[in-house]
Amino acid sequence: MRPHQHQRSTLRKLLFVCAGLTLLPGGLTFAVPMQNDPNGFEGIPWGAGFTETADFKLVDDGPRVKGYELVKGPPALGGAKVDAMRFVTLNGKFVRVTIRYHSPESHKQIVDYFQAKYGPLDRTPGQISKGGVQQFNWRGDDTLITLTYETAMDRGIIFFESRALALKLSEEMMAPEPDLGGATY
């Protein structure tokens, strides 16, 4: 594995672990109880079989974890323009959507949309609504939404994920990579 690929792999694993830690009982962050748990994303239920189709192209082809993007590009989220939207599977089962966006306007639109759709924010510990890094979480019976926005970098990332499958995904991402006998690709 090339050094830059190893760094990307390590950073990706760290990101998945951090996202997975929010799933632990009594975890590191607390969440607003979710109203109207979608049990999936935009009509695709968690755990559904997921493969490349005319609408979705394969963009990350791991042995067990795969990532897909919409062929037509990411749709707006609550009226806000987003930069990227990746659908992630574990062993062919739909487990997570990662959404990236930028701009204070998009951030405000998305937060307002989530509050209208999934429940208003409150002062629950773990909700950081001001400052350099803002983090909001909504926790439903089946779905966890984690939104983080860095004001200095003007970028946001959102994880929609299955509560039942996300921890398994994090564990898979932290599993040691197989020894390829010194082969590099």
Series of mean pLDDT values for 10-residue runs along the chain (185 residues): 48 43 40 88 94 94 94 96 97 96 96 94 60 88 95 95 83 63 47
Task: Give per-residue burial for 74-83: e unless 16+ CB within 10 Å, then b.
Answer: beebeebebe
Q: Please say whether the dihedral angle defined by the alpha carbons of residues 72, 75, 80 and 84, taken in this order, is positive or negative.
A: negative
Q: Which of 77, 89, 92, 94 is nearest to 157 (CA)?
A: 77
pLDDT recorded at residue 125: 56
Per DSSP, helices labelled H in 94-147 are: 104-118
Note the pLDDT of residue 132: 84
pLDDT by residue (tens digit) across 83-127? Answer: 999 999 999 999 999 999 999 999 999 999 999 999 998 655 555
Q: Where are the domains of the chain?
A: 3-174
Count Cα atoms within 13 angstroms, Cβ side, for 9: 16
pLDDT the model gives residue 184: 46
- Give which of 161, 178, 158 is closest to 9, Cα–Cα: 178
pTM more than 0.85? no
- What integer pLDDT is reported at residue 13 of this predicted model? 45
For position 172, what pLDDT does the model report? Answer: 73
Tokens of 154: 């003007």
CA distance 98 to 85: 6
